[in-house]
Structure 1
Amino acid sequence: MLVLKIGGSMAERSGRLAEEIAALGEKIVIVHGGGPQVSALEKATGREPRYVFSKDGFKTRHTDSGTMENFVMAVGGGVNSLLVRQFRKAGVNAVGISGASGIVFAKRKILVSFENGREKIIRDDFSGKIQEIDSAPLLALLQAGFVPVVSPIALGEEFEALNVDGDRAAAAMAGRLKAEKLLLFTDVEGFFSDFPNGLVRSARKSDIAEFQKKASAGMKRKLVAAGEALEGGVQEVVICSGLGENPMKKALEGGGTHITK
């Protein structure tokens, strides 16, 4: 079994990937992002996207109640529906589902920003830390011949919708489903030691901490997700481009950055 994460930046350009998945015929679960689409909807509704940075350099969207409403619409509705249509067009028996539909359970976390050398607690935030994955709905869909396409929205302890990181949600699902591989598709070729030079072809889990010192904010999260997936029992994580010709074939045959235990 494979778990794939498709970044929001490539959601509208995933047609070739869909065609490959249709031809592969393997059990696959797809998790997607939607950052650009959320930001676009924020601006369209008169809201400026806001972000906070942690002390370690991690970038997180400030998700207040209004942003959470836009997140559900843009990610759970727009991106999810778009991907299902693209995959269906390619012959993939895709079914869209929200992580908040009893699959991804999370605890609302306290968001802390680091500004001007000081830490600041952000209280009006609906970001979540994943606590549990219920694999039963996913396994039922897979057994029935469907390809689940899951949005990174979680169900909170008070049954509220929470924004969770798509890469880490994919990692948690991959571990829970005992997937052999997690493929993190994005719009760059993989992890670079000195971007745009120095593509790292293979690495071990023990290298991740050092890589994070050189990674951009978005890549930092993919590296964290890779570590969590490997810790959860996934054999291999591939960070790779989902664009161009045969992205799936390239990823499975050595393209991108391959990380193992």
Structure 2
Amino acid sequence: MEDRASVLLEALPYIQNFHGRTLVIKLGGGLIEKEELKNSIYQDLVLLNYVGMRPVVVHGGGSEISREMERAGKTPEFVEGLRVTDEETIEIIHKSLGGKINKEMVLGIEKYGGLALGVSGIDGNLVRARKIESEEELGFVGEVEEINPEIVEYLIDKDYIPVIAPIGADEEGTSLNLNADTVAAGLASSLKAEKLILLTDVPGVLQDPEDEESLISKLSLGEAREKIEKGIITGGMIPKVKACVESVEAGANRAHIINGKTSHALLLELLTESGVGTMIEEEGS
């Protein structure tokens, strides 16, 4: 019994520190395809909300989109990690990302007693985007131009957990496919969030990508940039680290990259002394 009490007491100062603070949490699409993992994440979100924190969720869904494309006879194509998105593909993205995946997540959170509401970046003019101009034709792929967080602020003030699909629109009203990490970083900045948390399928930033024991638990902004320049941070981790750096530079207090495959990773990161994953913060924090 004392062991259980000590666990709760360890969480107390973190609950006090983060009470009333906004947390922007990005969930990779692969994590929410695994029943046990996604239920663990939903439980964490509901608990954090009940103890007074204000979670905002941005989700991916790449695998589901690729499967739907293949069912429609289309072969998924990527250029530097960005999905080539023609008219038929953007319709699939609306159906899968903004529809099926988004609503399944809302239902999952509500199953555990939370109150969630699903939107996409086109709702309430949440994410204004512009089409990416590239030497290779990407189609309806965009980058974040401006975020109007008013609808998200309204929802979290009413104790809803917003669940956001990363689809934006340009000034002409054209839907654009967006990178979920970038949307999450922009939201964290505009909401002046306490934390941006990227839940991934790796332990965090590794000194040696081949050695999961070489986890770097903390990086300053300068150190993060340096490790990208020196090629220590490579591949798909680069946009994640850049998103974290940009969010902290623009107003978020800290950013974290953590392994969502660890059961209850959010609780371990936020409510224990050790935490998990990699934390990125300003110099001298």
Q: Could you tell me the TM-score, scaled by structure 1's length? A: 0.90
Contact 1:14 1:243 (C-alpha < 8 Å) held by counterparts: no
In the TM superposition, residue 216 of structure 1 has moved relative to its aligned partner by 4.4
Q: 1: distance between equivalents of 2:71 and 2:238?
A: 29
Q: Which residue of 1 aligns with 2:17?
A: none
Considering only CA atoms, is the larger Rg found in Structure 1 or Structure 2? 2
Q: Which residue of 2 aligns with 1:160?
A: 174
In the TM superposition, residue 259 of structure 1 has moved relative to its aligned partner by 0.6
Counterpart residue type for residue 191 of structure 1: V
Counterpart residue type for residue 107 of structure 1: R
2:46 is equivalent to residue 22 of structure 1: yes
Post-superposition CA distance 1:133-189 (Å, at most 9, x none): 111111111111111000000011210110111011001001101101011001111
Contact 2:204 2:258 (C-alpha < 8 Å) held by counterparts: yes
Q: 2: distance between equivalents of 1:228 and 1:124?
A: 24
Name the structure with the higher strand share. Answer: 1
Query: How many residues align structurally?
Result: 247
Q: Which residue of 2 aligns with 1:117?
A: none
Question: Which consecutive aligned stretches of 4+ in structure 1 deviate over 6 angstroms post-superposition?
Answer: none
Q: Which residue of 1 aligns with 2:267?
A: 249
Contact 2:83 2:138 (C-alpha < 8 Å) held by counterparts: no
Pick aligned residue for 2:32 from 3, 11, 23: 11
Equivalences for residues 74-93 of structure 1 within 5 A:
74-93=96-115
In the TM superposition, residue 234 of structure 1 has moved relative to its aligned partner by 0.7
Q: Which residue of 1 aligns with 2:254?
A: 236
Q: 2: distance between equivalents of 1:217 and 1:87?
A: 32
In the TM superposition, residue 256 of structure 1 has moved relative to its aligned partner by 0.3
Give the SS at the match of 1:222: helix
In the TM superposition, residue 81 of structure 1 has moved relative to its aligned partner by 1.2
Give the SS at the match of 1:16: helix
Post-superposition CA distance 1:69-94 (Å, at most 9, x none): 11221111121111111111111111
2:217 is equivalent to residue 201 of structure 1: yes
Q: CA RMSD in A?
A: 1.4
Counterpart residue type for residue 92 of structure 1: G
Give the SS at the match of 1:192: coil
In the TM superposition, residue 244 of structure 1 has moved relative to its aligned partner by 3.0
Counterpart residue type for residue 281 of structure 2: T
Flag the 1:193–1:124 CA change in 2: closer, same or farther, 3 A.
closer
Counterpart residue type for residue 217 of structure 2: R
Counterpart residue type for residue 276 of structure 2: G
Contact 1:104 1:154 (C-alpha < 8 Å) held by counterparts: yes
Counterpart residue type for residue 179 of structure 2: D
Q: Which residue of 2 aligns with 1:103?
A: 126
Q: Could you tell me the TM-score, scaled by structure 2's length? A: 0.83
Q: Which residue of 2 aligns with 1:128?
A: 142
Q: 2: distance between equivalents of 1:60 and 1:124?
A: 8
Equivalences for residues 162-201 of structure 1 within 5 A:
162-197=176-211, 198-201=214-217
Q: 1: distance between equivalents of 2:227 and 2:60?
A: 23
Give the SS at the match of 2:79: strand
Query: Which residues of structure 1 form unaligned runs of 5+?
Result: 54-58, 112-120
Contact 2:84 2:137 (C-alpha < 8 Å) held by counterparts: no
Post-superposition CA distance 1:49-107 (Å, at most 9, x none): 00112xxxxx2111122221112211111211111111111111111001111201101
Post-superposition CA distance 1:225-245 (Å, at most 9, x none): 111101111111010012232
Flag the 1:214–1:43 CA change in 2: closer, same or farther, 3 A.
farther
Q: 2: distance between equivalents of 1:103 and 1:5?
A: 16
Name the structure with the higher helix share. Answer: 2
Q: 1: distance between equivalents of 2:55 and 2:187?
A: 11
Give the SS at the match of 2:236: helix
What percent identity do the matched residue pairs reach?
A: 32
